[in-house]
Amino acid sequence: MKNKMMSLLQATDLIKDNMLLAIGGNAMHRTPSLFTLALTRKPVKNLKLCGAAPGLATDILLASQQADTSYFGFSGLENEAGLSPGMRKGMEGEGKIRAIEGS
């Protein structure tokens, strides 16, 4: 069987401009936050993000302005922290993020 393990940096090297990324986890739980933090060090742009209830990991990419579209059912950081600040700023204040909400 082929070994499919790779380092975090090798994984981020696979991501290119305009890709659609499905981000797992749910709000503040089980999100690939270290992956998205590592991705902010790469010069990728115009990413499209998709998740049922994306949270912290998705918001990192939206706040870094590497993503321009988010497909979601709910986007937030749980009740304690409210709606995702990076997405909200990009949608309401700057108008740079296209938010597509669906159930």
User: Per-domain residue ranges for the chain?
Assistant: 17-101
Q: Which is nearest to 35 in space by CA: 12, 14, 62?
A: 12
Q: What is the pTM of this model?
A: 0.86
Higher pLDDT among residues 34 and 89, named by residue: 34
Residues 6+ apart with CB under 8 A from 9: 38
pLDDT tens string 12-51: 999 999 999 999 888 888 889 999 999 999 999 999 999 9
Give the mean model confidence (pLDDT) for residues 45-68: 92
Higher pLDDT among residues 90 and 10, named by residue: 10
Residue 48 neighbours by CB distance under 10 Å: 16
Say if residue 80's pLDDT is above 80.
Answer: no
